Copies of this chain bind each other. A is one copy, B any other.
């Protein structure tokens, strides 16, 4: 396929994981071919939107024939970089950090959790799923020595920027931040601030939408 010279918009990029997930579910159901119309129906998008999205990457379908589900799943996985391995560390070994070690979309793909870090003396030295919890003072050296690619921040918001700064100093490529406050990083570091509560507040908005007295 031809390399696309135009940078793909973030709106399209953010839909790619959805394509990947829905295609994975089709494979589980043994559906091996699908039209853009049918795929659109499942995903709540129009057929033309789907064709446009996939055209950003050179297009995959054949006119009147639809998409080969397995092939498209693999291609999108490749585009998302899910066919590579990423060495990760989790900072904050509380419930959220532990939940992530166990999270399906994290465990299944090429994410290799190397170590966890915490400040709590009762957690330091323990292991979770064979992953050791170390003292946070060892974070920087560990990340440098082990070529860690992704740092996952699961600490309270008061400490998140400091942890991010340490990770940046130690040359991580990306930070996945779960603390409910955005952290700032230099431009060459990839950041995803998750902010779980935003979806909750969207929910409460929608609950009240019809009675909004504004």
Interface on A for B, CB 8 Å cutoff? 1-4, 7-8, 13-14, 16-18, 20-21, 25, 57-58, 79-82, 84, 86, 94-96, 98-100, 102-106, 109, 111, 149-150, 156-157, 173-174, 176, 180-181, 190, 192, 194-209, 212-214
Q: How far is the CA of A207 from the CA of B148 in the complex (A)?
A: 13
Q: How far is the CA of A195 from the CA of B21 in the complex (A)?
A: 10
Residue pair B196, A194 in contact (C-beta under 8 Å): yes
Residue pair B214, A58 in contact (C-beta under 8 Å): yes
Q: How far is the CA of A124 from the CA of B18 in the complex (A)?
A: 34
Among B81, B96, B99, B206, point to the contact of A208 (Cβ < 8 A).
Answer: B81
Among B80, B102, B196, point to the contact of A95 (Cβ < 8 A).
Answer: B102
In the bound complex, residues from chain B placing their C-beta under 8 Å from that of A81 are: 201, 204-205, 207-208
Residue pair A82, B204 in contact (C-beta under 8 Å): yes
Residue pair B214, A57 in contact (C-beta under 8 Å): yes
Residue pair A96, B103 in contact (C-beta under 8 Å): yes
Q: How far is the CA of A211 from the CA of B173 in the complex (A)?
A: 14
Beyond the given pairs A95-B96, A174-B206, A192-B199, 10 more chain A to chain B contacts, judged by CB atoms under 8 angstroms and listed by A's residue number, are: A4-B214, A20-B201, A57-B214, A80-B204, A95-B102, A96-B99, A96-B102, A105-B195, A174-B204, A190-B203
15 of the cross-chain contacts (CB-CB < 8 Å) are A16-B201, A17-B198, A18-B195, A79-B214, A81-B201, A81-B205, A81-B207, A95-B102, A96-B99, A104-B180, A105-B196, A105-B200, A173-B207, A190-B207, A192-B203
Among B4, B57, B176, point to the contact of A203 (Cβ < 8 A).
Answer: B176
